[in-house]
């Protein structure tokens, strides 16, 4: 597997390096710092600095320039970060960042940057496929994990207890409200029973 990932990285070098001369003038005109000048939070400023550092690593590795993304701290819910390929944008969860700054710097930022770098190198491919894994391994020397293991209790929101043949199943307020309004029913994937609300 690692051999094929290495070969993939080598192919990216061969295919993309000649284009750097033709694209250099347009890319160098773009700002090197991630686009977000309104950040005053010190922790978020650290993330901006980490984004720039990781982009410089990617540029050294692939010997080409990459346009810097806009960076936003507006993500909600259980996701730590997201990469928007078409708009070249990164979004991070400020609540999870405040609770897990070290993991964000060592794992979350390079994870999301790898998505954008991968898009610029290979176009649209599987989100966590071999191309993304190759960027994570060869550029950032990080084991490619598809999901984080952060504690998301603080961002989980209100949950409602339902039951099936397997036992208790927590549902989000959105799913609970859809059931209450009669819009839908949910079945357990294992026992196939319709979930029923807890009635004390």
Positions marked catalytic: 112
Give the closest residue to 61 by CA, choosing from 117, 119, 126: 117
Can you tell me the distance from the alpha carbon of 91 to that of 104, in angstroms, rounded to the nearest whole number? 12
Sheet of strand 89-92: strand arrangement = 70-72, 89-92, 81-84
Can you tell me the distance from the alpha carbon of 113 to that of 10, in angstroms, rounded to the nearest whole number? 19
Yes or no: say if 144 and 126 are a contact pair by the CB < 8 Å rule. no
Mapping DSSP to helix (H, G, I), strand (E, B) and coil, where does residue 32 land?
coil
């Amino acid at each position: 597997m690692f051999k094929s990932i290495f070969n993939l990285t080598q192919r990216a070098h061969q295919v993309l390096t000649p284009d750097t001369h033709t694209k250099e003038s347009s890319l160098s005109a773009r700002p090197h710092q991630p686009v977000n000048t309104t950040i005053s939070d010190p922790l978020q400023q650290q993330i901006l600095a980490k984004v720039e550092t990781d982009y410089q690593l990617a540029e050294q590795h692939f010997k080409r320039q990459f346009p810097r993304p806009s960076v936003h701290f507006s993500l909600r819910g259980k996701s730590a970060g997201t990469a928007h390929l078409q708009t070249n944008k990164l979004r991070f969860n400020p609540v999870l960042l405040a609770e897990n700054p070290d993991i964000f710097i060592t794992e979350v930022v390079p994870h999301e940057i790898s998505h954008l770098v991968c898009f610029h190198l290979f176009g649209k491919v599987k989100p966590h496929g071999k191309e993304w894994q190759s960027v994570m391994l060869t550029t950032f020397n990080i084991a490619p994990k598809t999901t984080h293991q952060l504690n998301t209790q603080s961002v989980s929101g209100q949950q409602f207890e339902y039951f099936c043949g397997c036992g208790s199943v927590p549902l989000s307020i959105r799913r609970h409200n859809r059931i209450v309004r009669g819009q839908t029913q949910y079945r357990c994937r294992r026992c196939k029973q319709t979930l029923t609300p807890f009635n004390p």
